Structure 1
Amino acid sequence: MDKNAGVDVQAKHSGLQARHWKMALQSAAIVVSNYWRLAQANAKSVIFAKEWTKDLNDVERFYIHMMLSRLRPEFFELIDGKNPHFERFRMEEIRDLPKLCLRIRRTVRRALGSFPSPGRSVNVWFDQSCYKVQNENGVECVYLTSMTKGKRIRVELKGIGKVGSVIHLLFRSDGKLELHVMEPLKKKALENVPAVPEEKYYSRA
């Protein structure tokens, strides 16, 4: 099977609630999206390190940037062997579109790593609608939505800390259970950075 081809997934009903399916599909979509975005980033670096890119005009260079800057329908059309056109784009200035698309396509396929596959550990994601936090006699407890409607799983936490947003429950292969809490990154002011004189600032329209 071609590693670039789509992967058929057959899901069996396992008693999961709709919220569990929602979080599972969201996390799977993020993994697959990151897989393709990494391939795009690696392919772009490889392409612009090639000698032949020095002979490209500005429109051809911008076409490559457009194709590899984000996941868009035109990108997957290119992977499928087509030569996509962008609307309101000066396509007539691209001298050999099939050849350019072929070079991009080959580079992306070489940049693709192994397709993500499930590991031995089991991951479950919970958003704020799937759990609640309670303090019981000084012990912080998280009540997670279970596979049985109306019942929750009680998990005692070591220590007391802020639990919010999305949490990640990891069943490790050694039988241990980990609960990961997503924390926003804190901004820290840069130190010892010289100020740039105002007249040195510039922009390009």
Structure 2
Amino acid sequence: MVTALSRTPVEFNQKLAGLRANGKTAEATLLTLLRELKETSGPHLRARHWKLALEETSKMALTHWKSVIAEAKKELADTLKRFHDQDRHYAYWLLCGINRQFFELLDGKVLVPNPDESFDRNYCLSYDRPLSSKTLRSIAGIVRRTVNRVRRDIVCYPRTKTFHNRIDFDSSCYKVRSTEAGQFLELMSLQPGKRICLRLKGKSKIRGTLQLIRDTADTYSLRVYVPQQCEKKDRCCHRNRSRLRRDDGNE
């Protein structure tokens, strides 16, 4: 998507037409919006920050829909126990992942699985009898109503906060410089070739993606993620504690 934003108007329109032809209207709409924002008077985010923002938004949306599907399966568990195997597997096929069939279900369509093409073998036993259109419509309606109820009452879509106080910088968006005067962080700015130099309090090992946080008092802090290792449990101590408990029980 970031690459598409830098294309010529003709190439960009061809990209949009291709997306719409393949049913990716949401992606085409988002690209159109980003293109309009990019063509307004600056300053604008650099391409790298566009990508980081889109990646985070995509992960947030992906996590949301995964949670919706997981909760819908829990809500349907008791109902599906009363179904025949093939009917139950059709319902699970509708919820087998974040794919086109799931969103077409939400749009009100009744999908007819093709065991040779689209019916995932993990969700299909033996396709001995074709499901009638009435059965398909009934099961799809139950699944759709359950998903909509989960979206309304259990898993709400995340909302954007009014106060934006965070910006991410991956390893290509900053440089770390240490001198006798202290440790300095040079961050990518909105102007190409120009970086913002920040002097840090103290010295630390900085790597990976950073988060620059601005609070309501206009003070800034930097978050650095460092991988942590879990402490290994001492098996000898565990055995000793178990032996003590047994001894206490005997007394």
TM-score (norm 2): 0.63
Between stretches 90-99 and 150-159, larger displacement belongs to 90-99
Kindly indicate whether residue 191 of structure 2 is the aligned counterpart of residue 164 of structure 1. no
Match of 1:17 among 21, 24, 46: 46
Q: Which has the higher contact order (CA 8 A, sep 6+)?
A: 1
Aligned to 2:158: 116
Aligned to 1:28: 57
Name the SS of the counterpart of 2:48 in structure 1: helix
Aligned to 1:201: none
Confirm or deny: 8 A CA contact 2:64 2:157 kept in the other structure.
yes
Q: Within 2, Cα distance between the matches of 1:137 and 1:15? A: 35
Q: Within 1, Cα distance between the matches of 2:180 and 2:65? A: 48
Structure 1 position 188, deviation (Å): 4.3
Distance 1:55 1:114, change over 3 A: closer
Q: Which amino acid aligns with 2:144?
A: R
Structure 1 position 191, deviation (Å): 5.9
Q: Within 1, Cα distance between the matches of 2:75 and 2:137? A: 19
Confirm or deny: 8 A CA contact 2:213 2:222 kept in the other structure.
yes
Aligned to 2:177: 134
Q: Within 2, Cα distance between the matches of 1:124 and 1:19? A: 12
Aligned to 1:82: 109
Aligned to 1:152: 195
Kindly indicate whether residue 100 of structure 2 is the aligned counterpart of residue 73 of structure 1. yes
Q: Within 2, Cα distance between the matches of 1:88 and 1:190? A: 46
* Coordinate RMSD, CA, aligned: 2.9
Higher gyration radius (CA): 2
| Cα distance per residue 1:14-72 (max 9 Å; x no partner) | 42111111111111111121221221121111111x3x221123344344444334311
Name the SS of the counterpart of 1:148 in structure 2: coil
Structure 1 position 75, deviation (Å): 1.1
Q: Within 2, Cα distance between the matches of 1:43 and 1:191? A: 41
Distance 1:154 1:98, change over 3 A: same
Q: Which amino acid aligns with 2:223?
A: H
Distance 1:187 1:71, change over 3 A: farther
Aligned to 1:107: 146
Confirm or deny: 8 A CA contact 1:166 1:182 kept in the other structure.
yes
Confirm or deny: 8 A CA contact 2:93 2:119 kept in the other structure.
no
Q: Which amino acid aligns with 1:68?
A: L
Between stretches 120-129 and 140-149, larger displacement belongs to 120-129
Name the SS of the counterpart of 1:133 in structure 2: strand
| Greater helix content | 2
Q: Within 2, Cα distance between the matches of 1:57 and 1:186? A: 47
Q: Which amino acid aligns with 1:19?
A: R
TM-score (norm 1): 0.75
Name the SS of the counterpart of 2:66 in structure 1: helix
Identity over aligned pairs, percent: 28
Aligned to 1:125: 168
Kindly indicate whether residue 136 of structure 2 is the aligned counterpart of residue 97 of structure 1. yes
Between stretches 77-86 and 88-97, larger displacement belongs to 88-97
User: Number of residue pairs matched?
Assistant: 187
Q: Which amino acid aligns with 1:126?
A: F
Q: Which runs of 5+ in 2 are unaligned?
A: 1-25, 240-251
Confirm or deny: 8 A CA contact 2:69 2:95 kept in the other structure.
yes
